[in-house]
Amino acid sequence: MKKNWADLDRLTIRTATADDAAAVAAVMNAVIAEGGLTLFDRPFSAAEERAFIESMGPRSALHVAEIDGAIAGVQSIDLYSNVAASMAHVATMGTWLKADARGRGLGRALAERSFAFAIAHGYTKILITVLAGNAPARKFYASLGFETIGIARAHVRLNGALHDEVLMEKCWRAE
């Protein structure tokens, strides 16, 4: 049986820095390599991840979950659209956990930090997309209060095959 790391002192949730780029890329690349869990279709280099972290604005964050100082999970929270001020209240979120870290409370701990960040930065809604075939991720997000609002058919092409994406949202208050 897996231990629940969220209850242990060995778990730290913090905001990533550019110095975390290689470890963050390693987590994301492990998930990409599993196939069918993320819309990303190629690995990221440490340099690409460093550039992404350094480019994040004040309403964006990349949180990491560390166990004994090693990054085992990553979660981004970011503005959904930077081209329309009318959507400034909407964020998007993505979660990547190493396979052996899933089901241990890391994703929930990351989400608690990301939700607090979202609220503190004026977001009232998070809109996410999850590959339809990734039932564990859909179940995870539903357990966090996300509701399915639609399906984008044949929305993602991975290894030549088209996949549906499920749109899910979590709202704090209606405007």
Per-residue pLDDT tens over the stretch 2-29: 556 555 568 999 999 999 999 999 999 9
Position 10 scores a pLDDT of 84
8-37: burial string, b at 16+ Cβ within 10 Å, e else: eeebebeebeeebbebbbbbbbbbbeeeeb
pTM attached to this predicted model: 0.91
Q: How far is CA 81 from CA 54, 92, 98, in A?
A: 19, 9, 28
Question: 98, 50 in Cβ contact below 8 A?
Answer: no
Q: Max Cα separation, the chain?
A: 47
Q: Would you say residue 111 has pLDDT above 80?
A: yes
| Mean predicted confidence (pLDDT) in 78-92 | 92
Position 1 scores a pLDDT of 39
Q: Which CATH superfamily is domain 5-126 in?
A: Gcn5-related N-acetyltransferase (GNAT) (3.40.630.30)
The average confidence (pLDDT) of the chain is 93
